């Protein structure tokens, strides 16, 4: 009898829920929810108040601002279904990728169907998240199928990829080789990144196809964190870049990319980062890579050879079999900044 009563009370509570798109005006209430759900937020150091970091993350880009969903109960936000979007290249084809971030339900309402309610709203509102789910497997792929209860055979066609997180000490780099390019520390990325990204992506079966707007949002907005960017440039041509942040007593490489076969540029960028971190007294650095990545030998030369952990990522597209990306012959470029984990 008590189970029936609880079920009726739970159903009545759900009837009072309202799922809707979040706005910037919800930032304070969303932060309260995240703190209630996780105890602290965010997980890494920032240089601005947490609410400003949240505004950057959820509402700082036009292509994601409209798609954050909250669930309210009597005017109080009790659930958050947030999304992170980015362009990626899969086998040379430009795709729109998405991943769910900061999924949160207030402790008083957990295990009552709050997130499924947000997903049903997303389906009814025809939210165009993207055509490829790419990121840590926080939720099962196929949000539309999951929320409507359909069983789609395509849900089984997932690729499960592993990013290798390497760690090493910050040490004096090898003496810099004489080079024809200049190392810069720009305040933002410019239009040259478009041609550079297209050329740099050629060797990879999967790589984020970040444009100027995305990179400036990710690395060059003060609200994002303590990021530093170095570029290698020759005759006004961009040869490569590295982006890293400091949090606690470690540095974290968010992105490292150079033109094909330019390991000399990769070496130069890593050396510049090491010199900068050494000057700031940072003792350790972490960098994501994959087992067969062409930069592995250079990372090893810089002491980044301790395997700290693996991060599993899901790649899913309805109606496509992407499992060949799991093959050891697939060349993958996966960075920490492809997720919200740094």
Contacts of 106 (CB under 8 A, 6+ apart): 33, 36, 37, 77, 78, 79, 114
Single residue among 151, 171, 200 that ends a domain in this structure: 151
pTM to 2 decimal places: 0.89
Task: Tell whether 177 is covered by a domain.
Answer: yes
Are 176 and 118 found together in one domain?
no
Task: Tell whether 275 is covered by a domain.
Answer: yes
Single residue among 127, 151, 175 that ends a domain in this structure: 151
Are 72 and 26 found together in one domain?
yes
What is the full DSSP assignment across 213-239?
HHHHHHHS-GGG-SEEEEEEEETTEEE
Task: Tell whether 62 is covered by a domain.
Answer: yes
Give the whole-angstrom CA distance, residue 340 versus residue 311: 13
Question: What pLDDT shows up at residue 157?
Answer: 65
Task: Tell whether 334 is covered by a domain.
Answer: yes
Range of the domain at 202: 162-338
Residue 242 in tokens: 């590295």
Are 182 and 327 found together in one domain?
yes
pLDDT mean across residues, the chain? 89
Question: What pLDDT shows up at residue 13?
Answer: 60
Are 146 and 171 found together in one domain?
no
Mean pLDDT is lowest, of 164-168, 237-241, 318-322, for 318-322
Are 233 and 139 found together in one domain?
no
For residue 154, pLDDT over 60 is answered with: no
What is the tens place of the pLDDT at every residue in 264-275?
Answer: 999 999 999 999
For residue 151, pLDDT over 50 is answered with: no
Task: Tell whether 156 is covered by a domain.
Answer: no
Are 48 and 175 found together in one domain?
no
Are 141 and 225 found together in one domain?
no
Confidence at 158, pLDDT banded by 50, 70, 90: confident
Question: What pLDDT shows up at residue 224?
Answer: 95
Are 107 and 70 found together in one domain?
yes
């Amino acid at each position: 009898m008590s189970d029936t009563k609880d079920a009726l009370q739970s159903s009545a509570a759900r009837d009072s829920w309202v799922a809707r798109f979040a706005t910037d005006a919800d930032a304070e209430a969303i932060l309260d929810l995240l703190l209630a759900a996780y105890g602290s937020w965010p997980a890494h150091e920032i240089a601005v108040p947490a609410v400003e970091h949240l505004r950057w993350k959820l509402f700082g880009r036009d292509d994601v601002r409209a798609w954050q969903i909250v669930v309210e109960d009597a005017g109080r936000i009790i659930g958050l279904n947030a999304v992170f979007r980015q362009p990626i290249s899969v086998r040379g084809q430009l795709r729109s990728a998405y991943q769910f971030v900061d999924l949160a339900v207030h402790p008083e309402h957990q295990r009552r169907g709050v997130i499924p309610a947000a997903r049903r709203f997303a389906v009814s509102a025809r939210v165009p998240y993207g055509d490829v789910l790419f990121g840590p497997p926080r939720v099962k792929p196929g949000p539309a199928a999951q929320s409507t209860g359909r069983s789609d055979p395509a849900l089984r066609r997932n690729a499960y990829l592993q990013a290798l997180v390497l760690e090493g000490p910050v040490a004096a780099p090898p003496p810099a080789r004489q080079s024809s390019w200049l190392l810069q520390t720009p305040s933002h990325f410019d239009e040259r990144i478009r041609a550079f990204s297209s050329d740099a992506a050629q060797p990879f079966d999967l790589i984020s196809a970040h444009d100027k707007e995305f990179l400036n949002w990710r690395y060059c907005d003060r609200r994002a964190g303590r990021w530093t960017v170095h570029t290698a440039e020759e005759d006004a041509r961009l040869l490569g870049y590295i982006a890293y942040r400091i949090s606690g007593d470690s540095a974290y490489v968010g992105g490292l990319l150079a033109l094909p076969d330019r390991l000399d540029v990769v070496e130069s960028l890593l050396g510049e980062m090491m010199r900068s971190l050494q000057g700031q007294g940072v003792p350790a650095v972490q960098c994501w890579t994959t087992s067969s990545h062409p930069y592995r030998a250079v990372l090893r030369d810089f002491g980044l050879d301790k395997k700290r952990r693996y991060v599993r990522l899901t790649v899913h597209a309805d109606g496509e079999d992407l499992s060949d990306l799991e093959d050891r012959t697939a060349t993958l470029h996966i960075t920490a900044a492809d997720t919200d984990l740094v």
